[in-house]
Amino acid sequence: MIRVERIHKHFGRLHVLRGITFDLPRGEALVIIGPSGSGKSTLLRCINLLVEPDEGKVIIDGVQVNRPDIRPEWARQQVGMVFQSFNLFTHLNALENVALGPIRVKGMAREAAEEKAKQLLARVGLAAKTQAFPAELSGGQQQRVAIARALAMDPKAILFDEPTSALDPEYIREVLDVMTALARDGMTMVVVTHEMGFASNVAQRILFMDAGMIIEEGRPEEIFGNPKHERTRAFVGKILR
């Protein structure tokens, strides 16, 4: 579904990603953990080409997308993204936020798009909030609208960039519940998170990254229960304490 091959990325003199390779089969939920500055977010942004990799290949559904003859917009339509800071369009209400992509990008008729948006908002538990503007919603509600907005494009996979890190503790649960339901429905997803409970319950696989490299990967019980690498052990020890 998603394959990343020997990705390198530099920001100035900083070598942020040093040859990342992984493969994500359809329907799998992959969680990426690692200390801040390890390149997790940059890796996610390379997958939907918000950041252009310097070297290496990003392959979505068998098509290499980081090459000059493919528009990055096309690649981004295949893969949804949910941001740490929600980034809902502040001038649009919840319904319009979700319907905007289908209308403007897919050319869907407004009525059909709004009907679809209503269903998606109901799916994330916000049927009553379709007319609310982002500034009138709690963080948890905003993030659930953002998930609906990503789903509205019928993506082949969704990337989650620390989706609960900006939330007050009481709202984390509702967002994780929506994500868990998505994973159970077979959505392919890559999640950067510090929520170890979510990681061990939902992820089929966990990648541990440090200093721009994948240090270790494995099933949750391996990574958390019996990490092989010293750096993984140190990080997991700090997180689980």
Partner 1 sequence: MATAEATLGRQTERAPFPHASAIRITEALVGGTIFVVVLEVFLGFNLLDPALWSLYGSVFLAGIVRTLTYIALVLPVSVSIGFALGWARVSRFRALAWPATVYVEFFRGVPPLVIVIFASILGPNLFPERFQSVQLGLILGALAIGLHSASFQGEIFRAGFQSVPRGQLEAAQAIGMQPLQSMRSVVLPQALRLSLPPLSNEFAVLIKDTSLMAIISGGELFHRSQLFMDQSVLTGTGQLHWLFIVWTAVAAVYFVMTFTVTRAMRLLERKYHARGLEGISI
Positions in the binding site for partner 1 (CB under 8 A): 48, 50, 71-74, 76-77, 80-81, 83, 85, 87-91, 93, 100-101, 104-105, 133-136, 146, 149-150, 152-153
Least CB distance to partner 1 at residue 168 (A): 18
Least CB distance to partner 1 at residue 104 (A): 5
Nearer to partner 1, 158 or 199 (CB): 158
153, HSE (Cβ side, Cα atoms, 13 Å): 23
Beta bridge partners of 216: 208
- Tell me the DSSP string of 66-125: SSTTS-HHHHHHHEEEE-TT----TTS-HHHHHHHHHHHTT---HHHHHHHHHHHHHHTT
Least CB distance to partner 1 at residue 121 (A): 16
Least CB distance to partner 1 at residue 156 (A): 12
Nearer to partner 1, 11 or 237 (CB): 11
101, HSE (Cβ side, Cα atoms, 13 Å): 25
Q: How many helices (H) and strands (E) does the chain have?
A: 9, 10
Least CB distance to partner 1 at residue 50 (A): 6
Nearer to partner 1, 112 or 234 (CB): 112
DSSP letter, residue 21: E
Nearer to partner 1, 142 or 232 (CB): 142
- Tell me the DSSP string of 162-214: STTTTS-HHHHHHHHHHHHHHHHTT-EEEEE---HHHHHHH-SEEEEEETTEE
Strands 29-33 and 188-192, bridge-based pairing: parallel
Read off φ and ψ for residue 238, nearest 5 degrees. -70, -40
Nearer to partner 1, 92 or 239 (CB): 92
Nearer to partner 1, 150 or 214 (CB): 150
Q: How far apart are CA 57 and CA 172, in angstroms?
A: 34
Q: How far apart are CA 230 and CA 227, in angstroms?
A: 8
Least CB distance to partner 1 at residue 152 (A): 8
Least CB distance to partner 1 at residue 184 (A): 24
Nearer to partner 1, 15 or 45 (CB): 45
